[in-house]
Structure 1
């Protein structure tokens, strides 16, 4: 059960940090946990986020594994091994940033970095019971991060606490200035399809927060999921399709990657129209509410033995993928449940309002904690 794929010791005496093996570290090969990249050359310079971490005094202690080529949601990897879910044994760690979430859940890192193209930070954060944040698209540098070209992917941090997540953002984004906890907050509760037990936890938490609540329905939410799939398929095939020629891509990923190559120009054009409509719809909702709230996952994390077919479990991303398409910042907050399984509360804010989103999350959690005392 592999979490760390390469041990490192770089930087100062600040927080211990591990990074997903799609992020370049000078002197190390970026292999994306794929046998097709086993002979990848050593990176000649750090990714910009790594440079910023080291400049801020972080201690980089390792690179961690992932769902092969960052093209899957479960975290299962038959090449490097699947990272164990430390807090919920026998359950999937989530993907694709499985090692990044598991490292924090196990206490191997104070925070870690993953990437989120279709939920790949928020899904494993929810599965492993930690915080995971997808910043506004384009806000955190992706220079030196695989893939080079994307309209969806964001580098984002995992942490076991919200203050550490805020510290991580301060280190990887020079423009990030932590915000004051706002005095009044209005939350739009998004109507979505999810397991009743998860909805129960979510609504109880929001009610206990004492914050003003209202209902929101996004007409293009389902279409945005489908459009996000079309875009990720086209962009991932453009970045990794050539690796199929090696014959070394894992069978589950090879099949999905080959299918991704069939994404038509017409499907991509339609996806871009949906992106425009859905983004405008979310922006409009956020003109009335400070944040939108919904579950991170529609169901509890699967057992490992029930998650073998990558394509069959893509529905795990039904509630996260739309916000990759629109580019809005989104946070997954870990909650518990009567079943003893993890639930993620997802909060979404206006583009560029990353600081405000994290401050609202702090206010919400403080209110809930006070109510429990």
Structure 2
């Protein structure tokens, strides 16, 4: 057949293209292995995973460069009216966007690898995880936005429309800005949270009366994992505009409080002595803080507040529950007569002289 004749120009071009593509694929694999070997020599173990994250966009980029070289050598400009240069340009932008996103993810993996949020004192780790997650989302958004804009501007029709609308860009900008002011405010709030960090990943907060942990921070909303496994979705600007409680702002350790109500005659020192014994046998107490004080008095009872410290908020919850049980059991067994009681005084208003004498 004439098609497979070496003297046939189309066959020679086809064979040369195939050789170039195979060579490009081999080159991409070779370069990837060299890069993987270099990254493995790094002392940080997280760098070993970077090569696997960027391998596919890297190989695709090498193959695309080979295709561009083949196209420039052959000199083909269009096929059936389709511009080859435009298609390659769009593919190049797509692959570069893919590679950019992969690099951002690889950088995040490398940075947060040395920070474990599962440690007891994880303040610095939560800070780094929060910053990297927010900056990752912002970077991916900007990469996709710029890529899409460049792809749209590559079409002549869209460019002409853009030039014709340039005169009314001021009015259009005002309309778009007014319509998107909430989205823009949320985006700016996301930047502010990443920098100032009023909240971090795994922070313990009270939002809208609910106790929970910060599970996820995005550009537009924050996910709070409630203690009963519900999820509270909160707009990100809520944490800028509205007061809320952050129990782990400065450190992971936390104080747990238990309130006990007893009669006025109760010997507080006895309960204080027993509290020392109860905390010594409490596995969730970290050994730092133990205080029992009279914090209030009402017409019916005294209010006692027991304070004890734990290494983190889950431990503080278990600490409080166990301590409350122990103190109540001590009162029930040792001093049941001093449990809160209601006093009633019976008053006889009838004069004694009017009573019948028997």
TM-score by length of structure 2 reads 0.23
TM-score by length of structure 1 reads 0.22
Kindly indicate which of the two structures has a greater share of residues assigned to helix: 2
